[in-house]
Amino acid sequence: GAGVSQTPSNKVTEKGKYVELRCDPISGHTALYWYRQSLGQGPEFLIYFQGTGAADDSGLPNDRFFAVRPEGSVSTLKIQRTERGDSAVYLCASSSGAGYNEQFFGPGTRLTVL
Amino acid sequence: QQQVKQSPQSLIVQKGGISIINCAYENTAFDYFPWYQQFPGKGPALLIAIRPDVSEKKEGRFTISFNKSAKQFSLHIMDSQPGDSATYFCAASGNQFYFGTGTSLTVIP
C-alpha cells in the first residue's frame, strides 16, 4: 500500500510569508507526528496527533507554528511570518497507535526561507 | 539539553567489516529504543528496535546491544556492505521520540 506522502517536496518562500505543509498518512493510522530536521541533525519532535486532537504540541517552537488534523487523516502544518531560521526539512510520520508502534516517515518537505 | 547522545558523527568501514554506533540517554523513563536508517532525500526508516527488558536483539546483520544500568545502547552492523552507506539515528521514547544527532556511515568497497 501507499506510504506516508508529503507535499510539496520543496518549498521556497520569502521571510515573513505564510506556508502550509501537507501530510497524508498511511490509511488507518490514528497517530500522526510532525518533526523538523535541520541539516546534520536528527528529527526534532514538534507535535503529535491521536485522531483529530493534538495529544502533545509541546515541541512547537512558538506561536507562529500551528498544525491541524480536522478529519483524523490528512494533517497540515502551518507556519506564519516565516523566518530564515525556519528553514529545514519537515517530516511527517504516522503509526497505528502511540507508544511502541513503528512510526512510518514520509520523505519530508524541504522548506527554504529566503 | 540533548536527551540522546550519539557517536561517532561519521564512520568509515571497509566492506565486510563491523560498524558500531553508540548512544547514551539520561531519562530512565524511556522504554523504547529504535534505530533508524536514512538515505539522502528520504525519510528515516525503522531498522531495528529494543525494549529495556532485554539486553540484545538481533535481526539479520543488525544487532542492538542494550545496557540498562549504564543507560547506553549500540547498533552493530555485521558484514557491512556498500548499500549500508547511510545516516543512522538512534532514538529513545517515553511520551515523545527523542533522536540522536546521527552517524554518517560510509562502507568502502
Nearest residue in chain B measured CA to CA from A47: B96
Q: What number is the average pLDDT over the span A92-109? A: 87
Q: What percent of chain B has pLDDT over 70?
A: 99
pLDDT-derived band at A45 (thresholds 50, 70, 90) equals very high
pLDDT by residue (tens digit) across A73-82? 999 999 999 9
C-alpha distance across the termini of chain B, in Å: 38
Q: What number is the average pLDDT over the span A90-94? A: 96
pLDDT-derived band at A47 (thresholds 50, 70, 90) equals very high
User: Can you say how many angstroms the Cα of residue A14 is from the centroid of all Cα atoms in its chain?
Assistant: 20
Q: How does the average pLDDT of chain B come out, rounded?
A: 95
The pLDDT value recorded for residue B96 is 82
Q: Say if A57 is an interface residue toward chain B (CB within 8 Å).
A: no
Q: Residue A101: list chain B partners with CB under 8 A.
A: none
CA distances from B8 to B36, B49, B50, B88, B104 (A): 15, 19, 21, 10, 8
Q: Which of A40, A48, A107 sits opposite B43 (nearest CB)?
A: A107
> Where does residue A47 rank: exposed (0-12), middle (13-18), buried (19+ CB within 10 A)?
buried
| Å between B16 CA and nearest CA of chain A | 27
| Å between B2 CA and nearest CA of chain A | 11
Q: Say if B54 is an interface residue toward chain A (CB within 8 Å).
A: no
